[in-house]
């Protein structure tokens, strides 16, 4: 699994700490972490939580990432932005129980964390516990297990609903404000990471056109 980490501007200063906690948990599992920033609060590319949603959608829909770890001050804005796009099911996660039940019941591909609200002493440990429970088992198995069949059925229903309620992702990208999208894809290592791992030629061509490369 390839996991993408991204932070918006209000929480950019926590990026290194979040990355350390994430890598500590998932790399022994054989997963890969790609850090898309922001790397510091002073980065030239300043991501808003709306742009985090755009970036997450680009990565997930193109196959450049299998999972996205993101957040903002409360976690709410980044979650809403991510869920504005097709191909993204993002849960709001505050603790290990949230992480486990979201993975097992909702079988999503992104989580949004509150990196300011309630994030005090022991915040790094809480992140480790969250990541452990998020990835400890294959997702979508149901919780409790006797609810697995109806929960898996509901997930398939949601997937079908999203196919109807969202348009083609490249059309969305091309019709959004060009500078907003360019800003979402302006991170220091975006092009290096994205083009090396993108599995969708259509989205790659769209991104190249937007960035003028």
Residue ranges making up the domain that contains 126: 2-211
pLDDT at 181: 98
CB atoms within 10 A of CB 118: 12
What is the arithmetic mean of pLDDT over 128-156? Answer: 95
**Is 212 strand, coil or helix?**
coil
46 token code pair: 């300043």
pLDDT at 156: 94
| Number of domains within the chain | 1
User: Looking at the chain, how many residues does it have?
Assistant: 213
CB atoms within 10 A of CB 121: 7
Query: CB-based contacts of 122: which residues, under 8 Å, 6+ apart?
Result: none
pLDDT band (50, 70, 90) for residue 205: very high
Q: What percent of the chain has pLDDT over 90?
A: 99
Query: pLDDT digit string (tens) for 158-193?
Result: 999 999 999 999 999 999 999 999 999 999 999 999
Spatial distance between the Cα atoms of 157 and 160, rounded to a whole number of angstroms: 5
Task: Say if strands 2-5 and 32-35 run parallel, antiparallel, or are unpaired.
Answer: parallel
pLDDT band (50, 70, 90) for residue 154: very high
Query: Is the per-residue pLDDT at 153 higher than 90?
Result: yes
Look-up of token digits 């932070």? 7
Kindly report the CATH number assigned to the domain that includes residue 117. 3.40.1400.10
Query: Is the per-residue pLDDT at 105 higher than 90?
Result: yes
Q: Which long-range contacts (CB under 8 A, 24 or more apart) does 40-45 make?
A: 40/12, 40/13, 40/15, 41/9, 41/12, 41/13, 42/12, 43/9, 43/12, 43/187, 43/188, 44/186, 44/188, 45/183, 45/186, 45/187, 45/188
Backbone dihedral angles phi then psi of residue 33, each to the nearest 5 degrees: -110, 125
Query: CB-based contacts of 180: which residues, under 8 Å, 6+ apart?
Result: 50, 51, 54
Spatial distance between the Cα atoms of 212 and 156, rounded to a whole number of angstroms: 38
Query: pLDDT digit string (tens) for 35-84?
Result: 999 999 999 999 999 999 999 999 999 999 999 999 999 999 999 999 99
- What is the chain's percent helix, strand, coil content, to nearest 5? 55, 10, 35
pLDDT band (50, 70, 90) for residue 213: confident
Query: CB-based contacts of 168: which residues, under 8 Å, 6+ apart?
Result: none
What value does the mean pLDDT of the chain take? 97
Spatial distance between the Cα atoms of 101 and 77, rounded to a whole number of angstroms: 21
pLDDT at 161: 95
């Amino acid at each position: 699994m390839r996991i993408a980490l991204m932070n918006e501007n209000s929480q950019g200063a926590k990026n290194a700490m979040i990355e350390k906690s994430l890598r500590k948990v998932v790399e022994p599992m054989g997963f890969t972490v790609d850090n898309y920033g922001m790397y510091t609060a002073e980065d030239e590319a300043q991501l808003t939580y709306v742009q985090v949603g755009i970036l997450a959608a680009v990565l997930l829909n193109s196959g450049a990432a299998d999972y996205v770890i993101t957040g903002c001050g409360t976690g709410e804005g980044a979650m809403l932005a991510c869920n504005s796009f097709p191909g993204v099911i993002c849960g709001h996660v505050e603790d290990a129980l949230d992480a486990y039940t979201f993975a097992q019941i909702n079988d999503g591909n992104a989580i949004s964390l509150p990196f300011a609200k309630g994030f005090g002493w022991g915040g790094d440990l809480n992140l480790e516990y969250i990541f452990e429970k998020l990835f400890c088992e294959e997702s979508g198995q149901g919780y409790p297990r006797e609810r697995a069949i109806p929960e898996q059925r509901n997930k398939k229903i949601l997937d079908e609903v999203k196919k109807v309620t969202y348009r083609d992702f490249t059309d969305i990208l091309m019709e959004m404000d060009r500078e907003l999208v360019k800003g979402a894809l302006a991170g220091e290592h975006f092009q290096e990471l994205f083009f090396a791992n993108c599995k969708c030629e259509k989205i790659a061509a769209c991104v190249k056109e937007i960035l003028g490369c």
